[in-house]
Amino acid sequence: MTEKTKSATVNYTEAMVARLHEVYTPEASEAERKEQVSALAEEFGKNPASIRAKLVREGLYVKNEYKAKTGAKVATKETIVSNIAKTLGVDADSQLSGLEKATKNCLLFLERTLLIAAELSGESDEGETPAE
């Protein structure tokens, strides 16, 4: 096997790295961060993927929040099960363990149904909680 050697050319100089730290602001909105990456790519003559990779190595890059096709924030199965447990007033880990293995559509249906039932029972019982 050959030993991996460092190339004679440096991809990013210290000045370029300092400029990355100066321009890229993790606290900015997704659109602003995307614009900053594009501007840096143009300034350095590199592609945006290279800029993002360097920002990741520098510990600066903030990943964009994943959104569903509808634009809504995506809820994890664990979050949905936690919401179901909260609605039922039980501990998710001990009393609903394994529920996160159900399909996401099934969990969402169960969550919505329980919320509707809780609202209906809250209207008729004036906030009474069911006996365990």
Full domain range(s) for residue 49: 14-57
DSSP 67: B
- Whether 89 and 121 map to the same domain: the answer is yes
> Are 65 and 59 within 8 A, CB to CB?
no
- Please state the domain count of the chain: 2
Q: Which tens digit of pLDDT belongs to each residue from 34-47?
A: 999 999 999 999 99
Q: Which tens digit of pLDDT belongs to each residue from 23-32?
A: 999 999 989 9
Residue in this structure with the two tokens 């096997």, named with its chain if needed: 1
Q: Which tens digit of pLDDT belongs to each residue from 88-109?
A: 889 888 889 899 899 989 999 9
6 within domain boundaries: no
**Which stretches within 1-132 are classed as H helix?**
14-23, 30-44, 48-57, 77-88, 92-95, 104-125
Q: What pLDDT band is residue 5 in, cutting at 50, 70 and 90?
A: low
How many Cβ atoms sit within 10 Å of the Cβ of residue 99?
Answer: 17
83 within domain boundaries: yes
Amino acid identity of residue 14, one-letter, is E
Residue in this structure with the two tokens 């659109």, named with its chain if needed: 31
51 within domain boundaries: yes
